[in-house]
Structure 1
Amino acid sequence: MSQADIITAFVTLFVIIDPIGLAPLFVALTQGMSAAQRRAVGLRASVVALVLLTLFGLAGQKLLDFIGISMPAFRIAGGLLLFVTAFDMLFERRTERRENKVSDEEALPDHDPSVFPLATPLIAGPGALATMVLLVGRAGPGWQGVLTVHLVMAAVVACAYGMFLISGPIGRALGRTGTNVVTRLLGMLLAALSVQFVIDGIQGVLHGAGLVAPA
């Protein structure tokens, strides 16, 4: 993978997982917990999400082959899914859904939010899982590209864990308005990346049909 591909992979996963947007939700989910308990919850959530994303990155392509779905088709579907996510971010729909999940879980006494909803679907959600398959597919057949994608993913999950650790001060510093501004900027960037995935998928379909030469 080139340096540009690595940067693209990092930005794509960072936008999808949205560690900054998760910080205030982590605060809400861990209300009443001590600092040590918050660290433990954040670590468990990050490890579980890392395992899920790794498994899907390694076995996702095999699952697609077993079902009979081509990578170009999955790229187009994944791009459309990411565009919906970007649309939701631009118009605050995703934030509202996440906050609704948080409210539902807060109603349950003594609930450990590390696996649900933190690890999944907030960190390793459908968009992140689909993105892992897309990025591994774009990395090529060599193990170096696959390893690089997973290292990039691990770095993004580490960013999410870091945001959990400093979520309190960041939430107070950004405030509601600052968080909304950051979410909208990330949503616009994600929309452009999702369109690129669709373009790559269409080019793959045309190449498979012999209508265009390989890039």
Structure 2
Amino acid sequence: MFNFKEIMSVSLVLFSVIDILGSIPIILDIQKRQGHIESEKATIVAGVLMFVFLFLGDSILKLFGIDIASFAVAGSIIIFALGIEMVLGITLFREDAEEQSTSTIVPLAFPLIAGAGTMTTLISLKAEYEQANVMVGVVVNLLFVYLVLKLSKPIGQRLGKSGLNILRKVFGIILLAIAIKLFKTNILPTPV
């Protein structure tokens, strides 16, 4: 049932898509304006959103008459675009930092942690890996998100701007490779 390799793959994909380390500048900006961030609340809300979509995503797709393989292909294209965004340093999907609400939930839990990219990725991962392994990968990422939210100031100071940029580009390349693998797996007919 549990497969360490699958759990690591899922965790790495989600880590790259959520890009919590790359979001440290946004987190620090929110922290500066609000005084503090409710790390527990943001993590719990993001977790609830992710698990609801993991379990009900199929039903939502069926409602629109879409199969998981088609959604996985669409998801791989979005993951590819996110990877391009990270590698090239362009902004395609991010919310405008000036329009952020004063709440910890928006923009931290949604859309920063559990945004469209994360939701699409969860459905794509569910098509590729065992659901139990995806769940463990989500929990691993939520723990990491919580730690980063708690320690955002020291992490930002330690890594510096260039360190954060390097990290973002490395995970962007990993995302590109994962997107290509997802696309290939779901677009090619399965051998009979």
Q: How does 1:36-47 map to 2 (within 5 A)?
A: 37-38=36-37, 41-47=38-44
What secondary structure is seen at the aligned counterpart in 2 of 1:21? coil
Question: Could you list the per-position Cα deviations for residues 134-176 of structure 1 after superposition, in whole angstroms to 9, with x for gaps in the alignment?
Answer: 222223xxxxx32331121021011011011111111111111
| Gap change, CA 1:32 and 1:126, over 3 Å in 2 | closer
The percent of aligned pairs where both chains have the same amino acid is 25
The residue aligned with 1:103 is 98
Q: Does 1:64 align with 2:54?
A: no
Deviation for aligned residue 1:47: 0.8
Q: How does 1:173-212 map to 2 (within 5 A)?
A: 173-203=158-188, 206-207=189-190, 212=191
d(CA) in 2 for partners of 1:117, 1:101: 10
Q: Does 1:156 align with 2:141?
A: yes
Q: CA RMSD in A?
A: 1.8
d(CA) in 2 for partners of 1:132, 1:202: 18
Normalising by structure 1, report the TM-score: 0.82
CA contact (8 A) 1:78 1:134 kept: yes
Deviation for aligned residue 1:33: 4.5
**Partner letter of residue 102 of structure 1?**
A
d(CA) in 2 for partners of 1:115, 1:69: 30
CA contact (8 A) 1:78 1:131 kept: yes
**Partner letter of residue 104 of structure 1?**
E
d(CA) in 2 for partners of 1:84, 1:32: 30
* Larger helix fraction of residues: 1
Question: Could you list the per-position Cα deviations for residues 60-81 of structure 1 after superposition, in whole angstroms to 9, with x for gaps in the alignment?
Answer: 0121122111121111111001
d(CA) in 2 for partners of 1:133, 1:13: 11
The residue aligned with 1:127 is 117
What secondary structure is seen at the aligned counterpart in 1 of 2:23? helix
The residue aligned with 1:4 is 5
Q: Structure 1 unaligned runs (5+)? A: 140-144
Moved over 6 A (4+): none
d(CA) in 2 for partners of 1:93, 1:121: 18
Greater shift, 81-90 or 2-11, is seen at: 2-11
Deviation for aligned residue 1:104: 2.6
**Partner letter of residue 159 of structure 1?**
F
CA contact (8 A) 2:43 2:109 kept: yes
Deviation for aligned residue 1:32: 4.9
**Partner letter of residue 75 of structure 1?**
A
CA contact (8 A) 1:27 1:168 kept: yes
Q: Structure 2 unaligned runs (5+)? A: none
The total of aligned residue pairs comes to 191
**Partner letter of residue 185 of structure 2?**
D
**Partner letter of residue 113 of structure 2?**
I
